[in-house]
Structures are given as structure tokens and as C-alpha cells.
């Protein structure tokens, strides 16, 4: 496994851990909001890193691989939906305007959506990247 993919998987674990901690702590206090903000920052940095290093390699390979091209299109559409939901979640809870009333369920929904996406990325995109790079 390439160093880049190892870093991505580590970041996935860190983001998930921050959200799990936030769920346990709640958002009725500064610690919970700090955890939410940290998760948001880490997720945005992770997505930027994927956009810079992962997707260009996959897109180049997809120029000669219709199956990969289709997969990338499907993943991009999926990511658009998840990104919207995640950013709404962060906007709702990072500034303390909303209470814990719906937070647990909202957090569970985001954790579930991200976990599903992470599993798909690691099983397909990351393996494809490593195959392309010969790792």
C-alpha cells in the first residue's frame, strides 16, 4: 500500500474518531463544538488532498478506461450529496446555535454516511490508485 493511501486511511480514522467523540460529548459545551470544528477542518483538508493527489491520477487513467470513468462519475455524484449533508451538519452545530436535541441523531447520520463512503473509497478508489501506481 502506498504512503499516500496509508495517510488517507489514517485521516479517515481520525475524522471518524473526532465525530464519535463529539457525539459522546455533545454540542452543548465548547469541547463538543471544538471537536466538530476539528472534524470539519480535517475533513476539508483531506478532501483537498484527495483532489490534489488522488483524483488526477484516477482521471488520467480513466481516459483509457470506460469502467473507471463511470466509477469516478458515480463517486463524484455520491460525494456531492454527502458533502452537502456534511456541510449542513457542520453549519448547524459548529457555532453553538443549536442544542443537543437533534445532535445525537444528526451525528449518527453523518457518521453512517461518511463510513459508507470511506468503505467504498478504500475498497475501490484507493486500491485502483495503488494498482495504477504499482504499489
Give the tens place of pLDDT for each residue, 28-83. Answer: 888 988 999 999 999 999 999 999 999 999 999 999 999 999 999 999 998 888 99
Centre a 10 Å sphere on the Cβ of residue 21 and count the other Cβ atoms it contains: 16
Domain segments of the chain as ranges = 3-113
Q: Left (φ > 0), alpha (ψ -120 to 50) or beta: where does 98 sit?
A: beta
pLDDT, tens only, 77-131: 988 889 999 999 998 888 766 667 788 899 999 999 999 999 999 999 999 999 9
Res 97: pLDDT:
67
Confidence (pTM) = 0.90
State the pLDDT at residue 96.
67
Amino acid at each position: 500500500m502506498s504512503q499516500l493511501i496509508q495517510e488517507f486511511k489514517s485521516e479517515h480514522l481520525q475524522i471518524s474518531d473526532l465525530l464519535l467523540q463529539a457525539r459522546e460529548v455533545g454540542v452543548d459545551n465548547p469541547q463538543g463544538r471544538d471537536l466538530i470544528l476539528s472534524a470539519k477542518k480535517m475533513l476539508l483538508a483531506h478532501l483537498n488532498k484527495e483532489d490534489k493527489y488522488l483524483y488526477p491520477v484516477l482521471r488520467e487513467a480513466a481516459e483509457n478506461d470506460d469502467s473507471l470513468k463511470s466509477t469516478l462519475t458515480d463517486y463524484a455524484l455520491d460525494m456531492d450529496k454527502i458533502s452537502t449533508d456534511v456541510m449542513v451538519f457542520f453549519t448547524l452545530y459548529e457555532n453553538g446555535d443549536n442544542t443537543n436535541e437533534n445532535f445525537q441523531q444528526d451525528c449518527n447520520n453523518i457518521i453512517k454516511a461518511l463510513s459508507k463512503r470511506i468503505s467504498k473509497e478504500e475498497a475501490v478508489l484507493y486500491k485502483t490508485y495503488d494498482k495504477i501506481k504499482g504499489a
